[in-house]
Amino acid sequence: MVVGIIGATGYTGVELIRLLLGHPAITGFSLASASHEGSSIEQVYPHLLGLIAAPLKKAEEVIAESALVFAALPTGVGEEYARLCFESGIPYIDLSADFRFGSDEQTYEAWYGMRYRYPNLHSAAVYGLPELNRKHIRHAKIIGNPGCYPTGATLGIMPALAQGMAHDAPLIIDAASGVTGSGRELSASSHYPQAADSLAPYKVGVHRHIPEISRIAAVCAGRAAPVIFTPHLAPLNRGILSTIYIPLAKNWQSLSSDTAFRFPPGPLIAEKLGAIKKQYEDFYRHEPFIRVLPDGLAAATNRVRASNFCDISLHLDSAGSTLIVVSAIDNMVKGACGQAIQNMNIIFGLDEKTGLGAVPSSF
């Protein structure tokens, strides 16, 4: 099977190539890059020398040659290519935000400042979080691959929301991402002297991933689920760590705030946390890439690096009234390219783990 990648020279494009080179069902690549057309991928990325020899073509040529197309493009660029694929019956997996909101053009326009050119395509698109939409992904022709921050956050909160653990109060999500999350083009904030030895929040209260997280949280909860999300830029190449604070519904609380300060709450907290952990383990029992960590081990980005895993650790505050979930993913793999390949595997009826068996690198 020949797969196409439009936008092959960006970080997500070349990460797709890295992962797909180890996929047994892939027999060839057709690659497009507007910025390097006429060159070849191994000239742009010499680490691929001897592994792939592929010229960089026009996007229309790639579509004509491919059984499936990945679009690793900026938001607002790929809609025309989606139309060409859709009309030709070629599955199209979009790694931008273009197809994440389905027919909800109003939200897309409010947060991204653009309108839909082909509303019918968006009505047909499926949000590509396998743990949520697997049965719909299987028959989809257009996939809106989730954002990296929403992936880490959503996987951390899905079981709590689905099992009715969360109170009506807003969920608070503090997340930190490596600099690859901002793409290959250099900006002032991702410039080495600014990013190194520093941890800083950005787009506080107005980040574009807020409506995506809120939308999926509401689907999981079956009601509106308000979210307060703050992203941070961390001095890392890869990884997203999300720390999520979920106020528990009364029936899930261990202790009142007053009681927590009158005697050591340890045994009661442990009992309640064990019950919550069992719910998470049962919820994700058949998910090959979700690891609910053992007690005493907090999720960390170095244990998922270069893999498609999402690690989740569970904690309670001393009053037993707030569940603290920590999730860790590699933003380039489970947060982007690995998830896209997982979606491809579902579409073609392959084992979801195919081509995604890389063991995490811990250093």
Distance CA 219, CA 104 (A): 14
Within a 10 A sphere around the Cβ of 345, how many other Cβ atoms? 20
Tokens 């890059």 belong to 33
Query: What is the chain's length?
Result: 363
Largest CA distance in the chain: 72
- Is 148 catalytic? The answer is yes
Q: How far is CA 107 from CA 47, 62, 112, 114, in A?
A: 40, 31, 8, 10
Selected catalytic residue, list 85, 148, 220, 310: 148
Token output for 345:
């595997």
Q: Which amino acid makes up residue 247?
A: P
Q: Are 311 and 328 in contact (CB under 8 A)?
A: yes
Q: Are 293 and 311 in contact (CB under 8 A)?
A: yes
Token output for 346:
């579902």
CA 348, 31, 355 angle in degrees (round to 5)?
40
Residues designated as active site: 148
